[in-house]
A = this chain, B = another copy of it.
């Protein structure tokens, strides 16, 4: 095994030709999306007013295991994929651990993260349907950037509602999106009914993903030829992101590597769900066993401290409702929280798998995450995104445990992106002014009190 290269690149012809739908192998399927007015499951006709037709079909299909990736999308993928699977030799040496550490690096594209994998798919289906444009929300800005890139490539209009705190902390993200031709609005804004209502109810709010989603949905459904697209949470997004895990598994199989544990950061669940999908499929089918760990911020702990219940996906309650681990749709994380992973809920797929005991979850605090990020940057070269650094933190913790026990575990984690647009947060860390925030039980109770009772 000593001749494993630093970076394993598949050849382009080895790239996956189909996405994998992990729901097909789940005994307990994720609960269906329901209409907030009728509380009845939503079908194709109801959902197609919000989402593109082909994406609704993918969203509703929990039995088909593979969806072919259209040639046009594969062509786009070839511009930045396959992404490297990296053996963290330097980190292993620095930690003096017997563990073998690998990471799948999704940051080598201008959007700076894995988000592009689903952005191009969603933009492609919108274009194919003859739409004029799409709307979306973005938190830290990775998804908005990815969608802007995809839309520029295909010649689609792109309207992005950006969580206000990120809009202000990351002016350069905004300019990247504008360079790709997108229109970017800080959320909450006075351009939508729901935005105006939130501004009236919570003056001075720094925004949240839930709020930006409401505005983007309203903008899409009130404009002819537009649909709404979402960068995480939905099952269709996890489907597209399965390309991460499929490539990763193909690369590992090629070199005879079997991970013992697989670690991913979890905000809405798109990266984690995509990374673990094919491995989880094996586990669900009883073919292999792996330990899966979802890592979330202690300041927004939907898996570790949330409730598993039907809830609104957005602050304005205009979206379909989903059954998921949730902190309540009115939960807004402290503005001292850096980066993404600010969403109050969690992918229905990830939630169900967690509920059924197929994966674990851990919550980690911000300064410890940046400590891990800085350590990683200095020794592995790559300056990681704050989101990705949650996974780094737990990977390092686990590697150090191996040092104590002498176990030679193989650890795989997802390095979802780069932190080049997160330097305000790094500056706080460098200056020693970064703080941690853990909501009290009383804080959480406010969000929980908004979760509706659904039988």
Residues of A within 8 A of B (CB): 5-7, 9, 11-12, 78-80, 90, 108-110, 112, 149, 152-153, 171-172, 175-176, 178-181, 374, 377-383, 418, 420-421, 423-424, 426-427, 430
Whether A149 and B381, one on each chain, are in contact in the complex, defined by CB atoms closer than 8 angstroms, is: yes
Cα of A353 to Cα of B79 in the assembled complex, Å? 35
On whether A427 and B175 interact (CB within 8 A), knowing A378-B153, A382-B110, the answer reads yes
Contact of A172 among B109, B110, B153, B423 (CB under 8 A): B423
Q: Which of B5, B176, B379, B418 contacts A423 (CB 8 A)?
A: B176
Contact B7 A380 (CB under 8 A): no
- In Å, the complex CA distance between A433 and B175 comes to 14
Partner of A430, one of B6, B9, B90, B178: B178
Task: Name which of A149, A152, A381, A383 has the most chain B CB atoms within 10 A of its CB.
Answer: A381
Q: How far is the CB of A278 from chain B (nearest CB, A)?
A: 23
Q: Are B179 and A79 in contact (CB under 8 A)?
A: no
Residues of B within 8 A of A378 (CB): 149, 152-153, 179-181
Residues of B within 8 A of A426 (CB): 175-176, 178-179
Give the residues in chain B near A382, CB-CB below 8 Å: 109-110
Which residues of chain B come closer than 8 Å to A110, judged between CB atoms?
A: 377, 381-383, 418, 420
> Cβ of B180 and Cβ of A377 under 8 Å apart?
yes
Select from chain B the residue with minimum beta-carbon distance to A384. B110
Q: Which B residues lie within 8 Å of A179 (CB)? A: 374, 377-378, 383, 426, 430
How many angstroms from the CA of A78 to the CA of B86 in the assembled complex?
A: 10
How many chain copies does the complex carry?
A: 2
Contact B423 A420 (CB under 8 A): no
Q: Who on chain B is nearest to A6 by CB?
A: B78
Please report the C-alpha to C-alpha distance between residue A153 and residue B149 in the assembled complex, in whole angstroms: 33
Chain B residues positioned under 8 Å from A380 (CB to CB): 79
Among candidates B5, B180, B377, B427, residue contacting A12 with C-beta atoms closer than 8 Å: B5
Question: B381 and A176: CB pair below 8 A?
Answer: no
11 example contacts (A-B, Cβ-Cβ < 8 A) are as follows A6-B78, A110-B381, A110-B383, A153-B379, A171-B427, A172-B424, A175-B427, A176-B383, A178-B426, A179-B377, A181-B378
A430 to B11 alpha-carbon distance, docked (Å)? 37
Cβ–Cβ contact A171 & B423, under 8 A: yes
- Complex Cα spacing A176 to B9, Å: 27
User: Once the chains are docked, how many angstroms separate the CA of A46 from the CA of B6?
Assistant: 40
If A5-B78, A108-B108 are given as contacts, then 16 extra A-B residue pairs at C-beta distance below 8 Å, sorted by A number, are A5-B12, A6-B12, A80-B381, A149-B378, A152-B377, A171-B427, A172-B172, A172-B424, A175-B426, A176-B420, A176-B423, A178-B426, A179-B374, A179-B378, A179-B430, A180-B378
A151: shortest Cβ distance to chain B, in Å?
Answer: 10
Cβ contacts under 8 Å, A80 to chain B: 381
In the complex formed, the residue of B with least CB distance to A80 is: B381
Q: Which of B153, B181, B420, B424 contacts A420 (CB 8 A)?
A: B420
A427: chain B residues within 8 A (beta carbon): 171, 175, 178
| Residues in B whose Cβ lies below 8 Å from that of A420 | 110, 112, 172, 176, 420-421
Residues of B within 8 A of A430 (CB): 175, 178-179
Bound-state Cα–Cα, A90 to B120, Å: 15
Taking CB atoms, residues of chain B closer than 8 Å to A5 are 11-12, 78
Report how far A6 CA is from B423 CA in the complex, Å: 32
Contacts of A178 in B (CB 8 A): 426-427, 430
Give me the 7 closest cross-chain CB pairs, A-B, nearest first: A172-B423, A152-B378, A175-B423, A6-B78, A420-B420, A110-B383, A5-B12
